[in-house]
Amino acid sequence: MEYKEFTGKTVEEAKEIACKELGIKEEELSYEVMESEKGGFLGLFKSAKIRVELKNEEETQAATKETAQEEAEALILQYNPESPTDTAVEFIYQVLKQLNLQAEISAEIQQEEETIYVEIEGEEMGTLIGKRGQTLDALQYLTSLVVNRVCGKYYKIKLDTENYRERRKETLENLAKNIAMKVKKTRRSVTLEPMNPYERRIIHAALQNDRYVETHSEGEEPYRRVVVSMKKGVVYEDRRYGRGYGNGRYGNNNRYHQGRSGGYRKSYDHKPKTDENGEKIVPDYMKDYAAYKEAKAAEKAAEAAKTTE
């Protein structure tokens, strides 16, 4: 058995130091007083020493799990199994009370959907929402566990405050569209930050009808991410710049090529027109120009002949 000694001005202070360092509650502390707080010069410098019995990691985890389960059982017995909405409201109220948050809580049940919608209204709800809604999601999950355990029936809990869910959905849909445009331009896949299943479904749904990109998820929870990539065998044409992306260097079989100015212009195939006999058809303006060049050449030849004479 392993032991560790802790010192304080009093036995209570030594116990408090031991609990804080070991991360356990006072009732879980097994200790022996080695020195009491009496002593010191004229009683001015008091000290106390205790020796604490150290449990191994497995014993500590088992004790912590058992304590948490007992507390959860005691907490669940307080709720009414006949009213899932009252159970949800009461549980959330107790949690907010521990967080020193005051709010109005309302709950409505949809029996056909087997869903309980809970709305929380109050000040400082940013604390309840947390970073990217993580705190709100955690409270929603815990509420679901309590309600389903008390009522003995599965209910889906949807918890919201300050219309956060709808605002977050719009943000994710805009993000999905912007990422899709980036993928189309660069033809490179983009991996988003880790998201929960609900938010990943929003990204998938926002891009499921896109002709050029596709989505899939990678990784394990809670670090599972959405990946947006180009569909194989498709060609994306950016109409704003007259440029294609997909097969070939510039896409669309090089229909667009770079000009001297650095821009892109469309190239056309100039094939000569022929008549029924297969002879090349020469337009009238080209015939007139050819006759003009012959006349000029004849004049130059005549002038050259006069000069030699």
CB 118 within 8 A of CB 111: no
- The tally of domains found in the chain comes to 4
267: burial class by Cβ within 10 Å (0-12, 13-18, 19+)?
A: exposed
- Asked if pLDDT for residue 160 goes beyond 70, the answer is yes
Categorize the per-residue pLDDT at 182 as very low, low, confident or very high, splitting at 50, 70 and 90: very high
Residue 39 lies inside a defined structural domain of this protein: yes
- pLDDT range class, residue 253, cuts 50, 70, 90: very low
Residue 3 contacts residue 52 (beta carbons within 8 Å): yes
The pLDDT tens digits of the residues spanning 113-147 come to 889 999 999 888 888 888 888 889 989 998 998 88
pTM to 2 decimals? 0.51
pLDDT band at residue 204 under the 50/70/90 scheme:
very high
Is 284 within a domain? no
Domain-embedded: residue 286? no
CATH of the domain at 212: 3.30.1370.50
Whether 19 is in a domain gets the answer yes
From 10, 38, 69, the end of a domain falls on: 69
Q: Give the mean model confidence (pLDDT) for residues 244-248.
A: 50
**pLDDT computed for residue 276 by the predictor:** 66
Note whether 147 and 82 are same-domain residues.
Answer: yes
- Is residue 285 included in any domain, yes or no? no
DSSP for 131-193, please give it.
GGGHHHHHHHHHHHHHHHHHHSS--EEEEEETTHHHHHHHHHHHHHHHHHHHHHHH---EEPP
Q: Which CATH number does the domain housing residue 153 bear?
A: 3.30.300.20
- Domain enclosing residue 241, as ranges: 236-266
- 226-235, 246-255, 260-269 — which is least confidently predicted? 246-255
Judge if 65 and 82 occupy the same domain. no
Please give the pLDDT value at position 268: 46
Confirm whether 195 is domain-assigned.
Answer: yes
